[in-house]
A and B are shown apart, each in its own frame.
Chain A
Amino acid sequence: MAKPNLGPVTLPDYQQERIGSQIAEGETIKSARPHALTDAIFNYCPGCTHGIVNRLVAECIDELGIEGKTVGIAPVGCSVMMYDFMNCDMIEAAHGRAPAVATGVKRVHPNNVVFAYQGDGDLASIGTAETVHAATRGEHITVIFINNAIYGMTGGQMAPTSLPNQVTQTSPYGRDVSKVGYPVRIAEMVSTLDGVAYVERVTCDSRKHIMDAKKAIKKAFQNQIDGVGYSLVEVVSTCPTNWGMTPLDAFQWLRDNMLPYYPLGVYKDVVADGFANAAEAALERAKDCPIAQQGKEA
């Protein structure tokens, strides 16, 4: 895969100070390490998209100029060490509890920008309740969801999002849907909840898709800044190590199998639908329910 060309980027002042002096006259920066990333080197496997998404989150934080007021919640899973990579304040949560922890932070500091970064086991299995309820409460948080259809950190067990017939360590004969049921489609499910402002499913298998992913992540942060409501971006991702594939094969498998099951696209966007925020959209959806309309004028 060709190295993505991310530049030129607009550098915030503080970053100009940091690296501006190292640039010779006449040079333009095509791609710089975002300030919101520390100098720590990612420990992700080759071909895993965690590194790309970590970086996209950092770029969005830089471009929105919000590093100083951002608090990130890292999950349990392969991105557990994310607090080592980010330059904003970070909290390490228990497995699946990131949305609850994010709720606590956001309620204390409503002006902070709070994001949870979670994998599929974390968000869609052990933390399903926290996910659904933070969403339906309309918490003003941003959730980045990495769906690679497997438990990576523990060595490749079946995930809530593993595909039918997918072979994993704990589904050695393939995921038998007659016995263990079907994958959870989070973007579809979460988009039905009234507290939700924006849900989009993206992937990072090509330059174009990476740029789309960045746009979605940035919007998910912008929504929070604007008070629009809860936003979730699901990133269909790879796990070459546990899928037992080369990085290139993994991306092909993603295109062949993951994307047909988990179609890319916008699942909910209340702003695009003409509403100011999730609350307005929820009011409209319940327009025939008198009690839900109480206080509408106020």
Chain B
Amino acid sequence: MADNTNAQERVLMKGNEVLAEAAMRAGCRFFFGYPITPQTELAAYMAKKLPLIGGTFLQAESEIAAINMVYGAAAAGARVMTSSSSPGVSLKGEGVSYMAGADCPGVIVNVERGGPGLGGIQPSQSDYFQATRALGHGDFYMPVLAPSTVQEMADLIYLAFDLADEYRTPAMILADGMIGQMMEPVLLPPERDLSTLPAKPWATSGHANEREHNVVNSLYLSPDKLEETNFERFERYAEIQEKHQRQELMMCDDADIVVVAFGAASRVARTAVRDARAKGIKAGLLRPITLWPFPTKAIDQVVDGGATKFLSVELNMGQMVEDVRLAVNGRASVDFFGRTGGVLPTPEEVLAAIETLAAGESVAQSAAPGAVGSLLPHPQHRKSTYERGE
């Protein structure tokens, strides 16, 4: 039998349920949401468990109402979260912008599915731009954490609550249908002692005639005042960027070709990189865990280590590849291979792309960097799931 020293503590759970369980252990006692596939297990788990520990689960009338309930509960000082999937997260954009503008901490989970529009319900990463750039109007970022295993679902949502409180910002878990639906063994994090959670003297919970009244607000009609709040917020963003870049490097030390992939795509890429090594290709995997802040320092490290080719593998039409290009900044070539709409690339397809790069050819329909053609896979890399026999 294999080593089972930790076997007693590990439990087998679905990714979505682990998000819920770990959130409660992190001290989250309030959940507001609206039903949508493929994140439903999370809400169902909360509905069952939260009332048993004195928490509140409330199914809102809409995604918009849900995020605004989160805003209210956050303003009142609670650890609070909501979860949804791509189309629902679009609706939450307004509320998240208000939370960012009013410096309210809270956690938003996006278990992504394919888009645009109603799209599909299979795993996708097509909300990378939305999460890291423009979830709502205005100048703001938020920490975006991308789990690639069920264990990371637990670890990262725990971290998300702490980052949110520490920096007074919304934070996002960007997962996908694959990690949400799958079961893996997980070591659950410890139960947080609620009395150790950070104090929130700014919260609107009634001044009890003991302090000046608090205002939670994002409106500043004076341009100078508004700019001042934006500058102050970006000072915090700068600190997050400095302190909280996270990534995993696999076989990157001597890698010539570095595959960059996160979440579900990184699972496929991991298999492909191992297969490439077995074929004698010096490939490595750089897996961003924080999508914002993007792990630019790790890119530097890999470039300095001698990597000459990057391949961004994503379940979309080329979004993170822009961050890879910005970080690489011309020091190496950057190619892209993606499948979209819920079609997952197979490890064989990613391996083929790595081999193509190793042979000095392009994996894209057109090689012009930055052109849309560079995002479309070469026809030989475009087999439908039907052609693949699925």
Contacts and interface: CB of A to CB of B under 8 A. Distances in A.
A and B touching (C-beta < 8 Å)? yes
A108 B78 contact: yes
Interface in B69-91: 69-78, 80
A90 B217 CA distance: 8
| A interface, size bucket | 35 or more
Contacts of A132: 61
A109 B72 CA distance: 11
B132 interface: no
A119 to B, nearest CB: 15
A71 B209 contact: no
A97 B205 contact: no
A132 B61 CA distance: 9
A69 interface: yes
Nearest to A90: B215
A104 B205 contact: no
Interface in A66-88: 67-71, 73, 80-81, 83, 86-88
A105 B204 contact: yes
B72 A100 contact: yes
A68 B209 contact: yes
Interface stretch (B4-12, B94-102, B233-241, B260-268): B94-102
B65 A91 contact: no
Given A100-B60, A129-B61, A130-B65, A90 B204 contact: yes
B161 interface: no
B218 interface: yes
Contact of B61 (A14, A91, A133): A133
A129 B72 CA distance: 17
B206 A71 contact: yes
Interface string B189-233: 000000000000000111111100111111100000000000000
A73 B95 contact: no
Contact of A88 (B69, B73, B98, B206): B206
B68 A71 contact: no
B294 interface: no
Interface in A94-110: 94, 97, 99-109
Contacts of B365: none
Contacts of A133: 60-61, 65
A108 B32 CA distance: 12
Interface string A121-154: 0000000011011000000000000000000000
- Residue of A67, A91, A104 ringed by the most chain B CB atoms within 10 A: A104
A67 B206 CA distance: 8
Interface in A184-220: none
The size bracket of the interface on B is 35 or more
B355 to A, nearest CB: 51
Given A70-B206, A89-B207, A129-B65, A103 B214 contact: no
B358 interface: no
B62 interface: yes
B73 to A, nearest CB: 4
Contacts of B217: 83, 90-92
Nearest to B55: A107
B333 interface: no
B22 to A, nearest CB: 21
Contact of A71 (B64, B76, B80): B76
B357 interface: no
20 contacts: A69-B206, A70-B206, A71-B206, A89-B204, A89-B207, A90-B214, A91-B72, A92-B217, A92-B218, A94-B94, A100-B64, A104-B68, A105-B75, A105-B204, A108-B80, A108-B205, A109-B76, A109-B205, A112-B205, A112-B206
Given A92-B216, A129-B64, 15 more contacts: A68-B208, A71-B204, A89-B214, A91-B72, A91-B215, A92-B102, A92-B219, A97-B68, A100-B65, A101-B69, A101-B72, A103-B72, A106-B72, A108-B78, A129-B61
Instruction: For the complex of A and B, list the 8 residue pairs with the smallest distance between their C-beta atoms, beginning with the closest.
Output: A104-B72, A100-B68, A101-B72, A89-B204, A104-B73, A133-B61, A97-B68, A69-B206
